[in-house]
Structure 1
Amino acid sequence: MENSGSTPQPINGRPQGRRQSILSEFLPESLPLPPSFLATSPIVREILTRDIAECSSEDDHHDLPFDSDSDSEQPQIVDAKLAFHPNGIAYGSGYSTIAIQGLDRPVPNPREVEDSLRAEASLLRDNAIIPPRHPRSQRNNIFWRLYRRVFSTKIKDHEDPEPIFQDSAAAETTPLLVDPHQESPSDEPLPTPPAEEIIERFEDAVAAHAIKTTWQREAKTLVQYAAPLIVAFLLHYSVTIGSVLTVGRLGMVELAAVNLATMTASITCYVPVQGLSTCLDTLCAQAYGSGHKHLVGLQAQRMTWLLWMLMIPIAVLWWFSEPILASMVPDRETASLAALFLRVLILGMPGVAALESGKRFLQSQGLFNATTYALLIGAPLSFLQNYLFVFKFGWNFGGAALAMAITQNLLPLLLVVYVRYVDGMQCWDGFSRKAFSNWGPMIKLALPGMIMIEAQFSVLEILTIAAGQFGTAQLAAQSILVTVTSTSFNIPFPLAIATSTRVANLIGAHLSDAARVTARVAIVAGLIVGLFNLTMFTTLNETIPRIFTEDEQVIGIAKQVILVCAVMQIFDALAAVSHGILRGVGHQAIGGYANLFSYYMVALPISLSTAFALGWKLSGLWAGLTVGLAVVSALELVYLYNADWESAVAQAEARMKSEDVMSEAKYTTV
């Protein structure tokens, strides 16, 4: 990677370097990266090359989905500039942290290419380079002009003079703008040019620096990307919410115990599983894009078996967890109930691993809605099971754990049904013994990301243990606060994923100005989301705790501390969005270092000092976390403000060219 203080190279003949970063002397682009941020392409190629070689042997030739010597069945992937890749999604991660993604550029699949073409066509229409979908309205009253000025995504409605689309194919000598008085002869919808023409015009327009965007276009795009993710995240986390809501009706001790149990389960199992399985984002996408579709299923199988084996020692730890938990919290009954909850949750372990692998298996094929469909069935059933097991059947605390375990196993089964009867079966070639081989490179690829994510999440476990030192009521209130803040975080986190995707696409298409517009829109959107959450927390500071429990002591603590959590919402949202922008421009290392510094060097010391030394108890724990998030958001926003975006474009272009060369070499050898 080039140092941000160096002179950026011209792109398409255009001199770059709008502004050099004033932080380059302190945070240079050549900053040594931890393993989780290193390009993983060599490891990916090693894994896929081994698998292809094994599957191409004479004994296993029947495993190949097509003849490698034939070009007729090779996937025809268009080299689209704005391929949509919302990979790395861990539905329901739900805490104040951002999962780190690698630098690899996934191979687009046909569904993503369609999304790419639609995005390119939208930008071309906005810039009057291809015809609009519908003829321009002849209305010209003040209200219609105001509406267009505020809501229109078209450049012509925000600039003067107004350009009009060109109605012939673009060429080197064809002007991008034509007669400004030309109008459509009828009110019939205008046809969209074919894909080849869209790609050609888009590339010509980028080369001529004729592509601009508006904040209206970027706001609309971010909403389109983020809305379905928000629904999916909230649906997935509702499984945990259902258990907490149900257990809260049983008593204060039970509410404290479920917080201790679920946080312990997250740190020891759920977060490591999510971290390890993120390597499938690259492996499955590359296998699908290379045409070896059966390897997508093989990679998912291999990861599932690895995770299941990993869960054996974790299950033993959970089964004998009571003495460990008793040493962490003073109340023996709370530790005993938390251990019971963990023992029952062992039944859900296989489903947790299968769900993470299954999501990546489907996402690599562009089937991003499959998990949402499963959640639309599984989440309501989870609430029903909680009611039946806890209240109707009288199984009390253990019934809530059983409902969660059943739901954890039900979700991957629903994905199997989707693959079998709807879509995705083309990448499944049956169970194979090869899933038990070639584990070394995959573990090497998966471990760094897991370690980084685990380091970020561990702070919350430390704070939960600290809360337990103040008594059962404080730990019960902590359960409410963690659940509420995790739920609210499932709005800015999907927004951050959408921002990362959009910024990366625009940077990859050499549209740094458009990427900056997206970044500004995302930051404003994050601020709006944070203010919305702050308003909800402050106005409903007593109503929200009463949803979870009837214990007045717990309600009194929670309604006081939730005001601190309300302030945190601003910085939580801004930190999420700014980290998403950093991922989009390929500067994940900055966000990773900022997160770790803010959590361990700022948030944790302040939390423990104010909670114990100053006697603020739970308020002190959350005050420290709020300060930490304020620091990380400030660091990332300052870095982004002073960043050299044109240099990011040059680096992205270099990475893409390097990956294209390596891909061509791989296809030649294969």
Structure 2
Amino acid sequence: MPTRPRPINAAPTPNALSGLSRSLSRSWAAAPIVQESLERDLEDSEAHWSDELDSDEEDTFQTPVAASAPAANHDFSLAASHRRSSFGGPGNRAAIGPNLQYNLDARDRIPREERQRILEEERSLLRDNALIPPKHPRIDEEGRRKSSFGKTMSRFASREDGGANGEQNEVTPLLGDPTLPYGGQDDPSTIKQKWEEAVKDGKIQTTWRREAKVLSAYSLPLMATFLLQYSLTVASIFTVGHIGTPELGAVSLASMTANITGYAVYQGLATSLDTLCAQAYGSGRKKLVGLQMQRMIYFLWAITIPIAVIWFFAEDILMVIVPEPAVAELAGRYLRIVIAGAPGYAAFEAGKRFTQAQGLFSASLYVLLFCAPFNAFLNWFFVWHLKMGYTGAPIAVAITDNLLPLGLWLYVRFFSKKGMSCWNGFTKQALKNWGPMIKLAVPGVIMVEAEVLAFEILTFASSYFGVEVLAAQSVLATLTGITFMIPFPLSIAASTRVANLIGATLADAAKLTTKVAFVGACIIGMFNGTMLWALRNQIPRLFTNDEEVISLVSEILPLCAAFQLFDALAALCNGTLRGLGRQHFGGYVQLFCYYVIAMPISMGTAFGLGWELWGLWTGVAIALGLVALIEFIYLGRTDWETSVRDARERNDNEG
């Protein structure tokens, strides 16, 4: 069954993470581990490559800084609050893994593309608040500016001449040429000065329109990426579902088993690269980024050996758990075949972190734009055209899993200007110094497994009600997984935006962003709910021809439609908590609601009261409502200025 991605304490981290909880900082202690790893790698690497930054590296960062020298600190700039995004996409069969917290030290420097984005954002906010002239000024016949910058442009014209007495004032040197875009005040040094002065004076405000535009720009590409990657599994569900009901239930059971025992393990372990690769890149040691990726690939391939053993004997294991022998046999066959794709999937998970650490967030999207349609074609080609039936679906999956890392390598090698600068070829160093990587990876895999297991228990439970109920559960899980891919990217966008604004000490702007995102989540939730309810009789026919399964899905879809609003709001609240650096609270709430509330209610109503599939989904619906309610109340009572003070303290410490 395709996994229902449920980030516990944050799947994609925001670009700027401020005020991270002290408790998590002490418990994970990511930075010392990473520092230890980097120091070992640097010692070992002296005989292999020079640690001096080449000309390309110097151009990538703000200012080359010696390893022991503190970086310049901008107390109130968006750049000062910057933390590089590092997140794992949902994976075609694995839950979105939590992102380990990492604190980049004073040597953290920002990639050129991200630095330019931050400059443009600060300049845009200064312009909107009439603190610099607009980009395209209108000039009247006397050469005076006609725009909304200031209330009377003649006043600025007189200032440019030094005023009536020809005296210079505090703004005269920054006014520039009124005929130029932004009055000629768009150079980085001027923007920096004006930004810091405006933030200190409380002059930076934002608008609903601006925040809606920013959130849309952030979330829409992510929606495309997540939907494409999720479609890799959906293609098999669509294709196999029309063969027969046992086949639909079997592919659901096989995918679920692959999630718990394999793909979620890869996702969780690979989260350590969110820390290691980003730290290496931020410190200017670009070649170490490729070393960390190479080391992770070898590690994941080693883990593949026990995973492959489990998958090979999965039929015997499932026979003990699942009461339907035919379903267990088909699921076991599926898993034996997809063993061939496991190494490729593992390499892709590591490769995604390699590109994301460099700011190449579009790499995965471009690869999926090719692989997702090709995967759908392969499913049709093997299952129906070559008449291979059920066996054709896992073959298509295995081929696609191996194409993913190949496509990523082709993008980095031929279409990226800087990707290969982080690759130094294969080296024996990748076989050493695994300790820090494993220490960071274990918490990640535990959290991912806990989240995956909570939702996949429903599939195990549904198998005890018959093949038809298991097949219906597969369809329902797939549909709710698809709908979740729409509000979840919005939560990532909100997390990123809130963290950036909090890091820049703009608490009021961060609150406004949250309000805009809240409205967006409500719209998305109501849209998803309306679509599921209105098309409850048509959607199931896309997955199967079995009338009993269609009837079961149609019966439960109104319940799924009812909790779509809660689903979207819970996702949005989780994103806001991540932006505020309080994701630990969201983690506790979700663990409590899923395991203490949802599972007992689901099992009690399904088996005790005989509600079967209705009962299984009732517990989930109640848990989602509680998550949204508790986190919403918590956010309403949160002192946002505390996060701002934490951001200032962090900036001071790093300065």
Q: Between 92-101 and 102-111, report the one with greater CA deviation.
A: 92-101
Quote the offset at 1:184 in angstroms: 6.6
Corresponding residue for residue 651 of structure 1: 646
| Equivalent position amino acid for 1:64 in 2 | S
Residues 72-127 of structure 1, C-alpha deviations (whole Å, 9 max, x = no match) = 78933586733565633222358997643333355432211111111111111111
- Looking at structure 2, the residues matched to 381 and 165 of structure 1 have their Cα atoms a distance apart, in angstroms, of 62
Corresponding residue for residue 401 of structure 2: 408
Equivalences for residues 523-538 of structure 1 within 5 A = 523-538=518-533
Question: Residues 202 and 340 from structure 1, CA distance in 2 versus in 1: closer, same or farther, beyond 3 angstroms?
Answer: same
Equivalences for residues 480-491 of structure 1 within 5 A = 480-491=475-486
Q: Between 424-433 and 101-110, report the one with greater CA deviation.
A: 101-110
Question: Residues 378 and 86 from structure 1, CA distance in 2 versus in 1: closer, same or farther, beyond 3 angstroms?
Answer: farther
- Looking at structure 2, the residues matched to 293 and 64 of structure 1 have their Cα atoms a distance apart, in angstroms, of 11
Quote the offset at 1:276 in angstroms: 1.5
**Does 1:371 find its partner at 2:367?**
no
| Equivalent position amino acid for 2:584 in 1 | A
Equivalences for residues 350-365 of structure 1 within 5 A = 350-365=343-358
**Does 1:54 find its partner at 2:44?**
yes
Equivalences for residues 279-290 of structure 1 within 5 A = 279-290=272-283
CA contact (8 A) 1:136 1:184 kept: no
Q: 2:623 aligns with which of 624, 628, 635?
A: 628
Corresponding residue for residue 586 of structure 1: 581
Question: Residues 443 and 128 from structure 1, CA distance in 2 versus in 1: closer, same or farther, beyond 3 angstroms?
Answer: same
- Looking at structure 2, the residues matched to 292 and 31 of structure 1 have their Cα atoms a distance apart, in angstroms, of 28
Higher RCO (CA 8 Å, separation ≥ 6 residues): 2
Question: Residues 38 and 132 from structure 1, CA distance in 2 versus in 1: closer, same or farther, beyond 3 angstroms?
Answer: farther
Equivalences for residues 210-249 of structure 1 within 5 A = 210-249=203-242
CA contact (8 A) 1:591 1:636 kept: yes
CA contact (8 A) 2:139 2:179 kept: no
Q: 1:398 aligns with which of 391, 395, 412?
A: 391
**Does 1:278 find its partner at 2:271?**
yes
Quote the offset at 1:66 in angstroms: 2.4
**Does 1:322 find its partner at 2:315?**
yes
- Looking at structure 2, the residues matched to 91 and 75 of structure 1 have their Cα atoms a distance apart, in angstroms, of 26
CA contact (8 A) 2:73 2:651 kept: no
- Looking at structure 1, the residues matched to 304 and 465 of structure 2 have their Cα atoms a distance apart, in angstroms, of 32
- Looking at structure 1, the residues matched to 321 and 570 of structure 2 have their Cα atoms a distance apart, in angstroms, of 31
Corresponding residue for residue 490 of structure 2: 495
Corresponding residue for residue 249 of structure 2: 256
Corresponding residue for residue 101 of structure 1: 99
Q: 1:174 aligns with which of 162, 170, 180?
A: 170
Equivalences for residues 380-399 of structure 1 within 5 A = 380-399=373-392
Corresponding residue for residue 44 of structure 1: 34
| Equivalent position amino acid for 1:112 in 2 | E
Residues 304-343 of structure 1, C-alpha deviations (whole Å, 9 max, x = no match) = 1111111110110010011221222211101110111111
**Does 1:458 find its partner at 2:458?**
no
**Does 1:553 find its partner at 2:548?**
yes
Corresponding residue for residue 68 of structure 2: none
Residues 597-638 of structure 1, C-alpha deviations (whole Å, 9 max, x = no match) = 010011111111111111111111111101111111111111
Q: Between 648-657 and 377-386, report the one with greater CA deviation.
A: 648-657
Corresponding residue for residue 7 of structure 1: none
Corresponding residue for residue 87 of structure 2: 89
CA contact (8 A) 2:536 2:554 kept: yes
- Looking at structure 1, the residues matched to 21 and 461 of structure 2 have their Cα atoms a distance apart, in angstroms, of 38
**Does 1:76 find its partner at 2:73?**
no
CA contact (8 A) 2:177 2:183 kept: no
CA contact (8 A) 1:128 1:166 kept: no
Question: Given the two structures, how large is their TM-score scaled by the length of structure 2?
Answer: 0.86
Q: 1:126 aligns with which of 125, 128, 132?
A: 128
CA contact (8 A) 1:131 1:166 kept: no
- Looking at structure 1, the residues matched to 25 and 287 of structure 2 have their Cα atoms a distance apart, in angstroms, of 32
**Does 1:333 find its partner at 2:323?**
no
Equivalences for residues 412-451 of structure 1 within 5 A = 412-423=405-416, 424-451=419-446
- Classify the secondary structure of the residue corresponding to 2:508: helix
CA contact (8 A) 2:132 2:183 kept: no
- Looking at structure 1, the residues matched to 414 and 95 of structure 2 have their Cα atoms a distance apart, in angstroms, of 36
Quote the offset at 1:162 in angstroms: 9.9
- Looking at structure 1, the residues matched to 39 and 356 of structure 2 have their Cα atoms a distance apart, in angstroms, of 22
- Classify the secondary structure of the residue corresponding to 1:63: coil
Give the percent of matched residue pairs that are identical in Structure 1 and Structure 2: 47
Question: Residues 315 and 204 from structure 1, CA distance in 2 versus in 1: closer, same or farther, beyond 3 angstroms?
Answer: same
Equivalences for residues 472-487 of structure 1 within 5 A = 472-487=467-482
Residues 379-415 of structure 1, C-alpha deviations (whole Å, 9 max, x = no match) = 1110110111001111111110110111111011011
CA contact (8 A) 1:273 1:307 kept: yes
- Classify the secondary structure of the residue corresponding to 2:563: helix
CA contact (8 A) 1:129 1:166 kept: no
- Classify the secondary structure of the residue corresponding to 1:518: helix
- Classify the secondary structure of the residue corresponding to 2:465: coil
Equivalences for residues 591-610 of structure 1 within 5 A = 591-610=586-605
- Classify the secondary structure of the residue corresponding to 1:128: coil
Corresponding residue for residue 11 of structure 1: none
Residues 340-393 of structure 1, C-alpha deviations (whole Å, 9 max, x = no match) = 111111111111111111111111111111111100111111011011100111
Question: Residues 129 and 278 from structure 1, CA distance in 2 versus in 1: closer, same or farther, beyond 3 angstroms?
Answer: same
- Classify the secondary structure of the residue corresponding to 2:533: helix
Question: Residues 337 and 375 from structure 1, CA distance in 2 versus in 1: closer, same or farther, beyond 3 angstroms?
Answer: same
- Looking at structure 2, the residues matched to 166 and 354 of structure 1 have their Cα atoms a distance apart, in angstroms, of 59
**Does 1:504 find its partner at 2:506?**
no
Question: Residues 185 and 435 from structure 1, CA distance in 2 versus in 1: closer, same or farther, beyond 3 angstroms?
Answer: closer
- Looking at structure 1, the residues matched to 552 and 152 of structure 2 have their Cα atoms a distance apart, in angstroms, of 60
Quote the offset at 1:654 in angstroms: 2.3
CA contact (8 A) 2:371 2:404 kept: yes
CA contact (8 A) 1:296 1:361 kept: yes
Quote the offset at 1:656 in angstroms: 3.8
Question: Residues 294 and 33 from structure 1, CA distance in 2 versus in 1: closer, same or farther, beyond 3 angstroms?
Answer: closer
- Looking at structure 2, the residues matched to 271 and 232 of structure 1 have their Cα atoms a distance apart, in angstroms, of 19
Quote the offset at 1:135 in angstroms: 3.3
- Classify the secondary structure of the residue corresponding to 1:132: coil
**Does 1:522 find its partner at 2:517?**
yes
Corresponding residue for residue 50 of structure 2: 64
Quote the offset at 1:216 in angstroms: 1.3
- Classify the secondary structure of the residue corresponding to 1:550: coil
Question: Residues 516 and 352 from structure 1, CA distance in 2 versus in 1: closer, same or farther, beyond 3 angstroms?
Answer: same
- Classify the secondary structure of the residue corresponding to 1:431: coil
- Classify the secondary structure of the residue corresponding to 1:103: coil
- Looking at structure 2, the residues matched to 375 and 72 of structure 1 have their Cα atoms a distance apart, in angstroms, of 32
Quote the offset at 1:245 in angstroms: 0.3
Corresponding residue for residue 9 of structure 2: none
